Amino acid sequence: MQEFRASWVEVGRSGRTATLALLGEYEHTLDEKGRLTLPSRLRPYFEGGIVITKGVDRCLFAFPPDEWAAFKANIKANADLSSKGRQLSRMFFSMAFEAVLDRQGRVLIPTKLAQYAGLDRDVTVAGVDDRLEIWSTAEWNEYLSGADESFSEIVEEFAGRDLGV
């Protein structure tokens, strides 16, 4: 039986290689200790650890270590010493939390991060290519209802760009 690995590579129609992406939407609950159990199919991506930080739109970002390193490098390269650049760095880095999944695939969500995202019990984990987003299920559903209304406009805006497909 072939073992699933996060490092598999697939070749798209363009002929370029791309790492397999974090995909899907999963509904979970935080346990009484504030731990989130990651979906089993996503756990191989986080065998080397997980970095959770403040995201945008009142969600949390969760990165595998390699993706966190790329994200961090991008922020450092683009966030200058201007007021907004410093604020961007502070928001992502000061709230970042490094952890390792336990044997059941759980990770503790720090209280400050859970409060920021409005997490209490019901959470939705959304795969967004290079990261996971962790949302309060109520917030996620509200976000989706608004996003669904503007989805075709967003597609049209990006349609003229080379997205590599």
Tell me the domain boundaries of the chain: 22-158
Number of other CB atoms surrounding residue 81 within 10 Å: 7
Range with top average pLDDT, 14-23, 111-120, 144-153: 111-120
Homologous superfamily of the 22-158 domain (CATH): Transcriptional regulator MraZ domain (3.40.1550.20)
- Dihedral sign, Cα of residue 46, residue 49, residue 54, residue 60: positive
Overall pTM surpassing 0.85 (yes/no): no
The answer to whether 124 touches 140, Cβ cutoff 8 Å, is yes
Supply 107's token pair: 């990770």
Q: What are phi and psi of 35, to 5 degrees?
A: -95, 145
When pLDDT is averaged across residues 103-109 and rounded to a whole number, the result is 97
Confidence bin at 162 (pLDDT 50/70/90) = low
Q: How far is CA 1 from the centre of its chain?
A: 29
**Cα–Cα distance for residue pair 70/140, rounded to 1 Å:** 26
Using alpha carbons, select from 92, 40, 30 the residue that is nearest to residue 61: 92
Q: What average pLDDT does the chain have?
A: 85
For 59, other C-beta atoms within 10 Å of its C-beta total 25
Q: What is the pLDDT of residues 135-153, one digit of tens each?
A: 999 999 999 988 877 888 8
When pLDDT is cut at 50, 70 and 90, the band that residue 131 belongs to is: very high
pLDDT at 15 over 70: no
| CA dist., res. 39 & res. 28, Å (int) | 8
Q: Are 89 and 79 in contact (CB under 8 A)?
A: yes
CB 133 within 8 A of CB 125: yes
In sequence order, what are the beta bridge partners of 126? 25, 133
Intra-chain end-to-end CA distance of the chain, in Å? 32
